[in-house]
Amino acid sequence: MLARMVRRTFVLAAALLWAIPVPRTAEGQEPAAIRVERLPASLAGTWEFALGDPPGGIADLDALPFRPIAVPGSWQAAGFPGHGTGWYRVPIDLDPSLSIVPLAFACSQIRDVDEVYLDGQPIGRTGGFPPAYDKGTVVERIYELPPSRSSVPGRHVLAVRVYNAGPRGGGITGTPRLVAVSAAFHARTMREAPRALLAAAFGALGLFSLFFFLRDRGQTDFLFFFLTTSVTAVFIVSWLSVWAAFGLPLTFLFRLGHAGVFVLPALAWVLFLKFFERPMGRLHRVLLTAQAAGALACLFWPRPDDIYYTFPLGGLLGAAAAADVVAHLGRAARRRVRHARPLLAAALAAVLAAAFDSAGLLALGVGASIDIALSGPAFFVLMSVLLAALADRLARLRLAASTDPLTSLANRAVLFDRIRLEIARARRSAHPVALAILDLDGFKGFNDRYGHVAGDRLLVAVAAAITEAIRDTDLAARFGGDEFVVLLPETNATRAVACLERIREGIARARVSGTRDGTTASAGVAVFDPNVRASVSVSAWLRQADAALYAAKTAGRDRVLVAHGAPPAAASGDRVPSDDASIRRVPGSPP
């Protein structure tokens, strides 16, 4: 009796449960609409999905066997195997308060091609469906809803047609949203503006280095720096969504961006090899060849989606290049090589940032998304430090090429260029300019007594005395051996003699450790005054000052004499004997 009553109870409960209506999400009734009351509104949740295309297009969409699917996410991960074309749809319920707001459908990523419909009306497409396949994976979608539909409150159906070529999963992989049109474009601009600014910063570094290279074609390091930073800028801008508005082939941008994964490490590697003047070994050539092959595959492989298979190779080659650079910088830093330590710190920061970003992209539980990637800023810091090192080395090279290595005064090449410049300036401004040649008295005997090391120290002390006695606009140069030249712009004979007397007295006081005495100096001064004569050649002017120096030596040394009259006619390099008509003894000089 009791058993019969229990049996009847179960039968009655089953009948009641069977009679309760339930929403059919497989092939019947649509799921509940997503209520949109305020903006921005997330459309993440349960949608419907079906593989394939309906025979009659969007009008025949109900013929597909739709099943529920979680959005965002790939349809392969949701249990729909295979690639090709699939349809998403979801009903939305617009609040009447939104009828006056221009609305847009926005999604950060849809793999790989899509077109979106609202109530059967197309509102936007990104990429191209086969047979004219154009991969639009990396482009953020913003589609403005037609006001004729979005201004009507109540229920609407949003449908998204997606094509995925594989091997990666496809579908609506970013969070779909309904937002105001202005807010959608503003948000995308704010997300992508840092990338654009970073690309512009790399471009500015490249143009700066190109300027140095064009001024000195022998500095090929700057050319490689320009190539590296320019490719980096192109790599960054290839990921911007703005290119979709210009009608550029999105597959080309996809290829270009992924080729940069191979090209950038290779160029940076070569740049560091050149900067540290390291020979390119066999292993370097093999790895660089592999990187070049990977870049060519990204650009020219027939099926663009197969490029994904090259990612592990690109990561390994980039890691090998980074390891080689960091290892060499570490050894150079231990040897205290100039610029090695700041470069090592910047390189380590760039490597750690790349590892952090890679972990985020591979969903390893750490790291960041590509929207806030750290690799770009860290690499910019590294390239900025490297450019500073390149500029410093160039400045040192130019300084070494223009100065005397012992005294740090200007050398003969700089002197002759400056003399020509001052002659031209004097002719334009009608101001006199003075030139003096100094020679140390008895310097050979000083060397014989105290040795050449002490003699070199004395020359350094003499150079310091000369530099201390002249103005910033004047030029002091080592002419050779123990001879020096001083060029005094906008200076007449009287002021030139006063300056040379200060120099002569400073040299007489100069001493070096380990010696009991120093030396004296004789000087000959020649003044070019464009008001007296129209012009003078460099060699004639030097011969005139040299003649005055010869006269000072002949008259007893340790004195300053001024040459007057026309420059001597002797051949360049000859000592010209002085006479009383052309050489004047300066009052106060020793007899």
In this structure, is residue 19 part of a structural domain?
A: no
In this structure, is residue 327 part of a structural domain?
A: yes
User: Do the beta carbons of residue 217 and residue 378 sit within 8 Å?
Assistant: no
In this structure, is residue 11 part of a structural domain?
A: no
pLDDT of res. 30: 58
SS3 (DSSP) at 145: coil
Chosen domain end from 132, 156, 185: 185
In whole angstroms, what is the distance from residue 33 CA to residue 23 CA? 12
- Looking at the fold, whether 263 and 290 belong to one and the same domain comes out as yes
Count of domains for the chain: 3
In this structure, is residue 21 part of a structural domain?
A: no
- Looking at the fold, whether 389 and 456 belong to one and the same domain comes out as no
For residues 236-267, one letter each, b for 16 or more C-beta atoms within 10 angstroms of the residue's C-beta and e for the rest, the string is bbbbbbebbeeeeebbebbbbbbbbbbbbbbb
pLDDT of res. 512: 87
Beta bridge partners of 421: none
Closest CA to 229 of 257, 194, 254, 204: 204
User: Do the beta carbons of residue 36 and residue 178 sit within 8 Å?
Assistant: yes
Query: What CATH number does the domain containing 557 carry?
Result: 3.30.70.270
In this structure, is residue 61 part of a structural domain?
A: yes
Place of tokens 């020096």: 484
In this structure, is residue 445 part of a structural domain?
A: yes
Peptide bond into 404 cis (omega under 30): no
User: Do the beta carbons of residue 504 and residue 525 sit within 8 Å?
Assistant: no
- Looking at the fold, whether 230 and 367 belong to one and the same domain comes out as yes
- Looking at the fold, whether 506 and 543 belong to one and the same domain comes out as yes
Closest CA to 31 of 172, 155, 171, 149: 155
- Looking at the fold, whether 226 and 157 belong to one and the same domain comes out as no
- Looking at the fold, whether 442 and 553 belong to one and the same domain comes out as yes
Query: What CATH number does the domain containing 98 carry?
Result: 2.60.120.260
pLDDT of res. 119: 93
Phi, psi (5° rounding) for residue 364?
-90, 5
DSSP 219: -
Chosen domain end from 185, 218, 244: 185
Q: Rounded to the nearest 10 degrees, what angle do helices 311-334 and 282-300 cross at?
A: 150
pLDDT of res. 364: 47
In whole angstroms, what is the distance from residue 238 CA to residue 255 CA? 9
- Looking at the fold, whether 359 and 441 belong to one and the same domain comes out as no
pLDDT of res. 245: 75
For residues 301-335, one letter each, b for 16 or more C-beta atoms within 10 angstroms of the residue's C-beta and e for the rest, the string is eeebbebeebbebbeebbebbbebbbebbeebbee
By CB atoms closer than 10 A (0-12, 13-18, 19+), residue 491 is buried
- Looking at the fold, whether 319 and 382 belong to one and the same domain comes out as yes
pLDDT of res. 12: 37
Amino acid at residue number 449:
R
Chosen domain end from 132, 162, 185: 185
- Looking at the fold, whether 430 and 396 belong to one and the same domain comes out as no
Closest CA to 242 of 172, 139, 173, 145: 139
- Looking at the fold, whether 484 and 359 belong to one and the same domain comes out as no
The helices-and-strands tally (H runs, E runs) of the chain is 14, 17
Assigned token pair, 531: 């008001």
SS3 (DSSP) at 86: strand
In this structure, is residue 14 part of a structural domain?
A: no
Work out whether the CA dihedral 217, 220, 222, 224 comes out positive or negative.
Answer: positive
240 Cα distance to chain centroid: 18
Assigned token pair, 489: 């712009």
SS3 (DSSP) at 276: coil
pLDDT of res. 14: 34
Q: Output the tens digit of pLDDT for each of the chain's 591 residues.
A: 333 443 443 333 333 333 333 334 444 455 688 999 999 999 999 999 999 999 888 989 999 999 999 999 999 999 999 999 999 999 999 999 999 999 999 999 999 999 999 999 999 999 999 999 999 887 889 999 999 999 999 999 999 999 999 899 999 999 999 999 999 999 999 988 999 999 999 999 999 999 989 988 888 899 999 999 999 999 998 888 888 777 788 999 899 989 999 999 999 999 999 999 899 889 999 999 999 999 999 999 999 999 999 988 998 999 999 999 999 999 999 999 999 999 999 999 999 998 888 776 665 444 444 456 788 999 999 999 999 999 998 888 888 888 888 998 999 989 999 999 999 999 999 999 999 999 999 888 888 888 989 999 999 999 999 999 999 999 999 998 899 999 999 999 999 999 999 999 999 999 888 888 889 999 999 999 988 888 889 999 999 999 999 999 999 999 999 998 766 544 444 444 443 444 444 433 433
User: Do the beta carbons of residue 107 and residue 176 sit within 8 Å?
Assistant: yes
Which domain does 314 fall in, by range? 192-402
Q: Which secondary-structure segment (H or E) carries 399? A: helix 375-402
In this structure, the strands spanning 483-488 and 475-480 are antiparallel
SS3 (DSSP) at 31: coil
Assigned token pair, 514: 């380990």
- Looking at the fold, whether 217 and 357 belong to one and the same domain comes out as yes
In whole angstroms, what is the distance from residue 170 CA to residue 163 CA? 7
In this structure, is residue 590 part of a structural domain?
A: no
- Looking at the fold, whether 387 and 428 belong to one and the same domain comes out as no
SS3 (DSSP) at 475: strand
Helix, strand, coil shares of the chain as percentages rounded to 5? 50, 20, 30
Place of tokens 């092959």: 293
